[in-house]
Amino acid sequence: MALLARFLRFCCAGSAVVLLAGVALAAAPPPYVPRYEHVVVVVMENHSADAVLGNPAAPWINALAAAGANFTAAYGVTHPSQPNYLALFSGSTQGVTDDSCPVAFSGVANLASQLLAAGRSFVGYSEDLPAVGYTGCSSALYHRRHNPWVDFDTAPVAVNQPFSAFPADFSQLPDVAFVVPNLCHDMHDCSIASGDAWLAAHLDAYVNWARGHASLFVLVWDEDDYSAQNRIPLIMAGAAVRTGSSVGRVDHYALLRTLEDMHGLAALGNAAAAAPILDVWNDRVFGDTFD
């Protein structure tokens, strides 16, 4: 029965399950998105996959890609930065075509409002955010255009947290967390090496913990540097993630759809037409090696 409980815990609600002699078996199952206990999504800035992957200035990122799932056909939705963040968070660019500030949306659903309505949790952690719920356009190296949850009145003030609030006890993380480094550490204003070093210093412990605690780490960029066809790095690591490359085309809408399917949520906007990511999950029974 413990095996059954673990299986059901990580199997998406849409999968057909048949019980036979106390064992859970999928009845001609479609692939499914596992339901992780915690997901941390980190969004970096303005570099193409070719600029980052294989670059010796990014040893931590490249080790992550080698040990996890590396998406070789991942793309931003558009240019410049801000509409990509909105697309990833709400399934639409919301008509935004630039990086102007502020933009604001009333009554518009988004990933945070969906999760909270379903009894789950979301927090966005922004480096250099000066106070919980801060709505200003900038402070130090924080810029609101990289923080989409502040733009929606359906996302409560409390979900807008500084990165200093990121818990040291990772079991206290919400179901889904987004992390936005500041303009230097996200590689926007500073080097690839500086961003890689920041990730190693601040997220490596979570990545290692996630592998044994039914949790997932997602590293994605908003857009490329205009040097390619908006092909961006996207890497996943954590429990039950296959090692290797995924060659199918994905974008921010597909990533949002995956997070929504993971929690049994309806797909928002353009995410409804995007296929969820299905080919990178280990096909063994999830939970066998988790604490």
* Whether residue 52 sits in one domain with residue 18: no
106-127 tens-digit pLDDT = 999 999 999 999 999 999 999 9
Q: What value does the CA radius of gyration of the chain take, rounded to a whole number of Å?
A: 18
163-191 tens-digit pLDDT = 999 999 999 999 999 999 999 999 999 99
Q: Name the average pLDDT for the chain.
A: 89
58-71 tens-digit pLDDT = 999 999 999 999 99
Let me know if residue 92 belongs to a domain.
Answer: yes
Helices 81-90 and 252-262 cross at an angle (nearest 10°) of 20
Residue 2 is predicted with a pLDDT of 43
Let me know if residue 219 belongs to a domain.
Answer: yes
Let me know if residue 281 belongs to a domain.
Answer: no
* Whether residue 20 sits in one domain with residue 146: no
226 CB burial (10 A radius; 0-12, 13-18, 19+): exposed
Range of the domain at 15: 1-30
Separation between Cα atoms, residue 241 and residue 92, nearest integer Å: 28
How many residues in the chain?
A: 291
Residue 284 is predicted with a pLDDT of 55
Report the number of distinct structural domains present in the chain: 2
Task: Specify the higher pLDDT residue, 288 or 202.
Answer: 202
Locate tokens 């596992």: which residue?
34
Separation between Cα atoms, residue 261 and residue 276, nearest integer Å: 7
* Whether residue 160 sits in one domain with residue 77: yes
| 32: confidence class by pLDDT, cuts 50, 70, 90 | confident
Let me know if residue 189 belongs to a domain.
Answer: yes
Residue 197 is predicted with a pLDDT of 98
Residue 176's nearest CA partner among 32, 42, 285 is: 42
* Whether residue 71 sits in one domain with residue 105: yes
3-state SS class at 114: helix
* Whether residue 68 sits in one domain with residue 22: no
Let me know if residue 286 belongs to a domain.
Answer: no
